[in-house]
Structure 1
Amino acid sequence: MGKKALWGFLVCMMAVVFMAGCGDTAKDAKTESYLTIEDDAGRTVTLAKKPERIVALSTSFLEPLHEVDATVVGCPSSKMGIPDYYKDVEKVGAVYNINIEKVVSLQPDLVIAMKGMNDKFVANLESNNIPVIVLDMKSYDQVKHSLDIFSQITGEQDKAKGIIAAMDKKIEDIKGKLPQETKRVAILHSTAQDVTVQLDDSIAGSVAKMLGFVNVAADTKPLDNNPDAAPYSLEALVKEDPDVIFVTSMGDMQTIKKAMQDNVENNSAWQTLRAVKENHVYYLPQKLFLLNPGMHYPEAVETMAKELYPQLFTEDK
């Protein structure tokens, strides 16, 4: 092979190598993503770019999203749980009746769904090329985890860390005021039609556990359709004879109290309970214990603690 032919061959080979390198670079650039998240459903979700149009399918997500500067363009309609700054955001139907067509019409680049409530919508949304993150946000630890996820999405991790540290401190300060004693509590959930017992993973149950209270129903077998609740039994309640009874509720409070009186309190055995005789039966506010309190978990903790030990919080009034 002559010198000219050899030189031409080398030039061609260098060009091929260069083009191959460019191809790899282009491929790498094409596959580069903004963020990859493993959600609470065990799914790996990759976001190609920073989301700028987020639809939240639960009102519980709204305040944490706002705290880390997320842009929310859609949320459910609800009488409770929507902050004033989201009142004018497009509504996508009731919490338990999401209008998926409306969600898609908002052209979101991310939908955040509640585990156990919105799972059925995931496949439909993904078929419309809309990424979906499924989160479980009931306990305080789950609230902090969700806030961390949201901060990764918006790039505001330092802001989330500061918020979490402040909430942790408030809760520790509240717990620090309480005497070192064990309180055995029962938590009932009342509607106009039914009464159930709340377990440790319920909102009120988790708050009681944070305060060091012992839920007398903690080991009770849960309902088939609700892992956070168990059937109500006055016989079992009398046997456990808790120091305190908390009541969470859903519906009009006057109706709830009448239902409790008709279905529970009129039974003579109820009057034998220590908590009843000592006036330690407390109705907890729905705004903190019906829906997830989210960023207001410290307020929920303080509310429950104040019911038992109001004298320890007089300086806060």
Structure 2
Amino acid sequence: MRSYKLLAIFLVISLVLLGCSEKNKEELQSEETASTSSPEENQTEESEALTLENDGINEEEFKEALGTFPDEMKEKIITSSVPISEILYELDITPVGIPTSPYELPEKFNDIPEIGTSMTPDIEVITSLDADFFIGSASVKESLDEHLKNIALDTSYLGTDNFDDIKMAIKVLGTYFDKKDNMNAMLEDILLWENTLIEEGASLEKQKALLLIGTSDSFMVMNNNTYLGSILKRTNIENVAETEFKSEETYAAINMENIIQANPDVIFVLAYGDAEDIKKEFLNEIDKNEAWKSLVAYENDAIQFLDYDVYGVSSIKNMETALTGITEFLEVAETNE
């Protein structure tokens, strides 16, 4: 029962923060079939460094996403997405409406009207802003289309769930709004951090990781559709949700039998809420269930508690910390073996 409660909580979180969202089966299948090459495949066996010319972004998917934008460039833009708001800021594009969110947006946007939550923005506010283009998160497209259907407004949607999504969104928005200098500056920084992550991650021993996210009373397993998962897959880390559990669900209930069989070398725990309380709750869970103590990760003191604001949300402002800092946790886990 607690797992179902937590799943409902995370569904609400994903709609508000647009950092994490559960993709449905159809979306997952389309991702598998639409791409002719994955980010990993775009990195050659010789670990060729990513550059602006070889940025790891699938060209066919980029063209498809760009093709969903209006032919004529729009000027009065509204977005209900926090990550898209951050990207617009870095591209020097000022929207006329931004999302209402607990996350702090750039100070330059302080005087811009808030349009409400990511899934159900305020129709009256949107209408009053006389906008001509709405950009939302692809994870809530169906709900937003239904919500906005009676407004004469062009709409487009971009993925914002994970690291690959953010790179794609930057390239699409920078190209569409003809902000290529800003776009390239952003991508150069991101590719530098990504190259560092790949290089440092490759130097570590191959490890199996269990990714968990939890509140004060329950925890769930995460796959690579999450922001943390999409970062770790650029290292020598195997996410057991992908390799052992074959999970297509972004968030799945804990199955202790599967976890014992996978026997992860390291466990990463994202705490949504009071980090200390959640850490205490997880350690209590270990004390109550001796099965946790049989895991290599426990024996080697390789249970890592990560900052949700850095590793749980696909945020531009925290991306450098996320990409350059994750290997420190991996090195600690390796040292403790």
Same fold (TM over 0.5): yes
Farther-moved stretch of structure 1 (139-148 vs 301-310): 301-310
Aligned length: 271
Superposed, 1:144-293 pairs within 5 Å as: 144-178=167-201, 179-219=203-243, 220=245, 222=247, 227-293=249-315
- The equivalent of 1:11 in structure 2 is none
How far apart, CA to CA, are the structure 1 residues paired with 2:176 and 2:159?
17
- Pick one of 115, 136, 153 that aligns with 1:113: 136
TM-score normalised to structure 1 length: 0.77
Give the C-alpha shift of residue 295 in structure 1.
5.6
Corresponding residue number in structure 1 for 2:154: 131
Identity of matched residues, %: 22
- Aligned counterparts of 2:325 and 2:111: Cα–Cα separation in 1: 30
Q: Helix, strand or coil: the match of 1:283?
A: strand
Report the CA distance between 1:136 and its aligned residue: 0.9
Alignment match of 1:93 (pick from 116, 122, 128): 116
The one-letter amino acid of 1:218's match is E
Structure having the higher Rg: 1
SS in 1 for 2:103: coil
Gaps of 5+ in 1: 1-36, 313-317
Structure-1 separation of matches of 2:321 and 2:64: 27
1:196-236: CA deviation from partner (whole Å, max 9, x where unpaired): 1111211111111012311112142547xxx3122212222
Alignment check: 8 A CA contact 2:213 2:221 kept: yes
Q: CA deviation at 1:131?
A: 0.8
Please identify runs of 4+ aligned residues in structure 1 that moved more than 4 A: 37-40
- Equivalent residue number for residue 84 of structure 1: 107
- Greater relative contact order, per chain length (Cα 8 Å cut-off, separation 6+): 2
Higher strand residue share: 1
CA–CA separation in structure 1 for the residues paired with 2:130 and 2:305: 42
Cα-to-partner distance string for 1:18-74 (whole Å, 9 max, x where unaligned): xxxxxxxxxxxxxxxxxxx9765x9734243x3222111111111211111112121
Q: Using the alignment, how far apart are the partners of 1:265 and 1:159 within structure 2?
A: 51
Tell me the secondary structure at the aligned position of residue 112 of structure 1. Answer: strand
Q: Distance in 2 between matches of 1:283 and 1:65?
A: 31
8 Å contact 1:45–1:133 — kept in the other structure?
Answer: yes
In the alignment, what sits opposite 1:29?
none
Q: Deviations along 1:153-183, whole A, 9 cap, x unmatched?
A: 3211232123212211122123323424201
CA 1:264–1:55: 2 relative to 1, 3 Å: farther
CA contact (8 A) 1:104 1:125 kept: no
Distance 1:86-1:228 versus aligned 2 partners, 3 A rule: same
Cα pair distance change 1:262/1:117, threshold 3 Å: farther
* Letter matched to residue 191 of structure 1: T
Q: C-alpha distance in 2, partners of 1:250/1:272?
A: 26
Unmatched runs of 5 consecutive residues or more in structure 2 = 1-61
The answer on 1:66 being equivalent to 2:89 is yes
Taking a change above 3 Å as real, the CA distance of residues 150 and 263 of structure 1, as seen in their structure-2 partners, is same
Q: Distance in 1 between matches of 2:152 and 2:68?
A: 15
Shift of 1:109: 1.7
* Paired residue type of 2:95: V
- Normalised to the residue count of structure 2, the TM-score between the two structures is 0.72
SS at match of 1:150: helix
SS of the equivalent of 1:73 reads coil
1:44 to 62, 68, 77: 68
